[in-house]
Each structure stands twice: as C-alpha cells, then as structure tokens.
Chain A
C-alpha cells in the first residue's frame, strides 16, 4: 500500500464513523440482553411467594458491588457516549449535506419508516434512559437509600404514569432496534453476502420485538399486581 498518503483515522471519516456506530450499537444490544435477563428476576416472587424480591436484590447487590462488573460497566457507559456523540455529529453533517430541501415531499413506499426517524426514536430513548438512571441507578448508587432495589422498583411500577412512560419508551426502543440491529451489520459490511441477509433481517426483527416486549411486560405485570 502507498504509505506516503496520510490515511485519516476511523473516527474522522464517514464510513469509519458508521462502523463505530454499528459496533457500539450492536454492543449495546448485548447489554440489553444482559439487563433484561436480570430484570426477569423481578418476576420471581410471582412463582415463588417466599422470594419477596430476594433474588432480584441479590442480583442488584452483585451488580453494584462486584469488581467484575466495573470494567463492563465503564465500557458500556463509553459505548453509550460514543454512540450518542457520533449520532449527533453524523446528523449535523447530514443536515449540512442538504441545506435546501424539496418543495414536494414524497414517499417511495418501499423504505422503512423506522430508518428515517432513528434520531427521533434514539433521542426519546435517551430521555427515558436518563430518567431511568435517575430513578434507580442514581438513587441507589449515588444518593443512597434505605430501600432495597426491589422496593424501589415496586414503588416506581405502582405509578401508572411511570409504567406508561416506560412502555412507550420500549415501543420507541423497538422502532430504533427494528432498523438499528440490521443496519449495524450493514455498516460493518457483514451484509455483503445476500445469503446471510435474510437471516440477519429476521434475527433483527425478532430482537427488536422480543427484547422491548420483555422489558415492557415486567412493569405491566408489577402494576397489575400493585392494584390488586
């Protein structure tokens, strides 16, 4: 290769940034799986009345105390920061690439609607994330409280407005993942073999429905329990 030319770094080019968006996005998908697996412990008292939230509290305790979790936690935080920061950068570049729009707005009827509103769905999910972090993470890890994590969750999910907000955020997350999952593979160039594309698209669709559904069902069940 011609070494006399200066090759810009990955983060300084359009495709490089998209690759990093893809990597961080798909990494955050793995975080969703881990988070949801833990959340399912909230439902343990349904099947085992003697549990009373013990399993979930032990899990929350492990997550906040174990030194094994610190590194993945920092990586996850960085993943979010890079994904959001690059999204802002790319969006502003995209706006500059077409300063004057079209008078007549049309839809080709074939492209996915979710793909066009990634910024909107992503921003709402970010707002949710900040409120969500404040309700649980900040309250326990930064401010400190006497409540157990299970109690905090139980109180939050007995508030119908909080539950509604949570469920709406999950729907928007589903929209975001609907495009994002397969789009991440495309940005990494892993959809260059059409043989695999159907599989990637199907797994992406399944992921985008099942993961937010899993998250949303927990506050709904806990709310129904709280009013009984």
Chain B
C-alpha cells in the first residue's frame, strides 16, 4: 500500500459575504485507497486537533449518486477522472509530493456559503418551474399501461441519470446551466407522460434558468466532458429545438 505526502491549496471562506482566500495545508500518510473525500476527512481531523476550523464541503451518499460532493480539483470539476464524482475519485490518481488545488464551483448563480460549499438551490427552483407531469386522479396506474419504445425509454433514462451536481455549470466557461436544464427537459419531454406540459415546460424552465443568472451556451461541449453521468449535448439540442418550437407556437 502506497502512502503519500500532499500539499493542498484549499479555498477558505467564512461565509457568503466574506472575502475568501486560498490556504495551504500539508497532509501526510494519505493512503492510495482513500477516496478524495476521505482524504479531506483526514485533513479535517488534523485541523480539529490543531484547534482550527475544518474545511466545509458537501457530501452525502459517497457512492456517486447523490450529486452533493461538488468541488473543483486542479481546475477540473470532480477532479481529473471522466464520468466520476469527487467521492468516487481515489487517491491512487495522485502521487507523493503532489500539489492539489481545491476550489468551490464558481458561478454567480452558485454563491459560496462556506469554503467549498456552494448554494445550488437555483437548480431546485428551475426544477420547480417545470419539472412535473400531470397525473389523473384515481387509483394507481398500471406500471406498463403506457407502452414506450425501447429507444425512447433509453434516451429518457439517460437524461434522467443527471444527478444535478452542477459540474456542468462549474466547468462551462460561461457558467451555463444548459446541460442540467436540458437533461431535465429531455427526460420528461421524451415520454408520453410529459407531453401535456412539454412546450410550457421548456419556456418556464428556461425563463427560470435565465432569472438565476446562469450564462449562455456556446456549445464548447466542456459540460459533457466533465459530467459525472455522461449526459450528452444531444439533450441541449433537443431543448433548443423544443424551445424554438414553443416560441413559434406561443
């Protein structure tokens, strides 16, 4: 088992209104089998023992599915591995003596609350603006009462795998949320259950996205590269198409 000594440059910021700065910590005995978050846990234990404030970071499931653990590691959202969340990034990626820069997701729509924790509630408000479907009242519908083709089901499922972590925003040079929003719009818009609100949904969710202050998409594709779930740019094309159609129909 390999252990390593690392130099960490971590963004420290007391609260939403305070001025943050990068601080440097040295950490020894990092096990290569640790996840990145476990390495931060070790750092925090050390800081607590030294009577210092531990580094605040978001985390929950630690199995790559909840989308909580967002941070930018050496300039890459969720670190250097493709299709991986921070909790699934393991320290074997790094070598003894490495310097690692850890920064929060940067976007005016994602204000820093403390250290590496950002407020991603803008995503919740976008979902609230249109991420729902009409359901008839009465008994529970049969599971397979509405037949859906395999290809469509797969596409909708693929879009639905978006965990809303915000890596797309963090990595986009324009801090645009279009990959996230398009995944949510595609996921419902592809399925028969999502048809009644389809046009209104795209208008409403895009309006909310704009209101939150996210940037515009310049089709660089950086979001797709950093998405831990591999959400494709095709979703953005679908959203653009539906948006255009909805605008023409209004």
Contacts and interface: CB of A to CB of B under 8 A. Distances in A.
Q: Do A and B bind each other?
A: yes
Interface of A: 1-2, 5, 7-8, 10, 13-19, 90, 93-94, 96-108, 110-112, 115-116, 118, 179, 182-183, 186-192, 194, 197
A111 B76 CA distance: 13
A13 B210 contact: yes
B54 interface: no
Contacts of A107: 75
Nearest to B249: A1
Contacts of A190: 237, 241
B241 A189 contact: yes
A7 B206 CA distance: 11
Contacts of A112: 220-221
B238 A192 contact: yes
B215 A98 contact: yes
Nearest to A107: B75
Interface stretch (B28-36, B45-53, B101-109): B101-109
Contacts of A2: 200
Nearest to A183: B219
A103 B9 CA distance: 10
A19 B220 contact: no
Contact of B206 (A14, A182, A194, A197): A14
A189 B237 contact: yes
Interface string B193-235: 0000001100110110110011111111110011000000110
Given A18-B217, A97-B176, A102 B243 contact: no
Contacts of B234: 191-192, 194, 197
B242 interface: yes
B250 interface: yes
Contact of B215 (A8, A15, A94, A192): A94
A94 B216 contact: yes
Contacts of A15: 178, 206, 217, 239-240, 243-244
A207 to B, nearest CB: 16
Contact of A111 (B106, B204, B225, B249): B225
Contacts of B103: 102-104
Nearest to A191: B237
B174 A19 contact: no
7 contacts: A14-B178, A14-B216, A94-B176, A104-B101, A118-B218, A187-B217, A189-B237
Interface of B: 9, 11, 22, 72, 74-76, 101, 103, 106-109, 171, 173-176, 178, 199-200, 203-204, 206-207, 209-210, 213-222, 225-226, 233-234, 236-244, 246-247, 249-250
Given A104-B75, A108-B225, A116-B173, A94 B218 contact: yes
A19 B243 contact: yes
A6 B100 CA distance: 48
Per CB-CB distance, the 10 closest pairs between chain A and chain B, nearest first, are A189-B241, A106-B75, A97-B215, A94-B174, A189-B240, A104-B101, A97-B175, A192-B237, A115-B220, A94-B215
Given A13-B210, A15-B243, A191-B233, 9 more contacts: A16-B247, A17-B216, A93-B215, A94-B215, A97-B215, A103-B9, A106-B74, A190-B241, A191-B237
Contact of A189 (B203, B222, B239): B239
A93 B9 CA distance: 30
A108 B216 contact: no
A122 to B, nearest CB: 11
Of A101, A182, A192, chain B has the most CB atoms within 10 Å of the CB of A192
Contacts of A17: 216
Given A94-B174, A96-B213, A105-B75, A183 B240 contact: no
Of B74, B206, B216, chain A has the most CB atoms within 10 Å of the CB of B216
